[in-house]
Amino acid sequence: MNISLITDFPLHLLQNGRSKIDVFFEDEVLYRRDPSNKKFPFSSISLADISTNRSGNNNKISCPNDSKYIVKGTDVEIYSGVVYILSIKRQNFHVELKKTYRETSEKDGMPYSYIVEMYLVHKPDEYNYAHTVIEITFQGKIMSFNPDTGVYNRGLGRKDRLASKMRSILRDEIQKMVIDKTTV
């Protein structure tokens, strides 16, 4: 459905020329839709595209109900289901917008290590000022997904035990941020 046809679309979600906010507040939370409604919703997600909405200070940017609008260009889908509430305080993202994880192992008698970083980035768009992503870098390169080709550019491969361990660590760390859930 075209966004212009939605009479109850929340006007506070419109960017209206507002710049991104490079800081996050201590009491701020993130909202993430999860149609699967699993007990551990982050146990199998792709680490290349972790899209959320930020609340801002005292829900001034968005609230859980705003997560029901899935905007792609000027088209909108209405989501109905579970929205998880994630505390950024649990990962100290209000202090530093980055968490670094380093793991070392041995292969053929030679030590090697992986460095993975998790960043919190406010990425507002025209119809969703609250849009925020958790970006993951692996060995300094952002993990991303190209929806046109269906290909991930860089990832923590399944064949490598250390990479698999890092993937599990990241998913667990994101899961630890969950403080509540609601239905929209």
Is residue 11 situated within a structural domain?
no
Alpha-carbon distance 31 to 51, whole Å? 9
* Average pLDDT, integer, range 79-96: 84
Mean pLDDT of the chain: 86
Q: Is the pLDDT of residue 164 over 80?
A: yes
Is residue 40 situated within a structural domain?
yes
Is residue 33 situated within a structural domain?
yes
CA angle 133, 32, 69 (to 5 degrees): 95
Is residue 134 situated within a structural domain?
yes
How many structural domains compose the chain? 1
Q: What's the pLDDT score for residue 25?
A: 87
Q: Is the pLDDT of residue 157 over 70?
A: no
Is residue 1 situated within a structural domain?
no
Is residue 9 situated within a structural domain?
no
User: With a threshold of 0.95, does the pTM exceed it?
Assistant: no
Q: Is the pLDDT of residue 146 over 80?
A: no
Q: What's the pLDDT score for residue 55?
A: 96
Q: Is the pLDDT of residue 137 over 70?
A: yes
Q: Summarize pLDDT for 40-85 with one digit per residue, the tens.
A: 788 878 787 789 999 998 889 999 999 999 988 889 999 999 999 9
Range in 31-35, 61-65, 97-101, 172-176 the model is least confident about: 97-101
Residue with tokens 């941020």: 177
Q: What's the pLDDT score for residue 12?
A: 94
Is residue 93 situated within a structural domain?
yes
Q: What's the pLDDT score for residue 147?
A: 65
Q: What's the pLDDT score for residue 66?
A: 96
Residue 146 is part of which domain span? 18-183
CA angle 41, 46, 49 (to 5 degrees): 105
Q: Is 40 left (phi over 0), alpha (psi -120 to 50) or beta?
A: beta
Distinct helix (H) and strand (E) counts, the chain:
1, 12
Q: Is 27 left (phi over 0), alpha (psi -120 to 50) or beta?
A: alpha
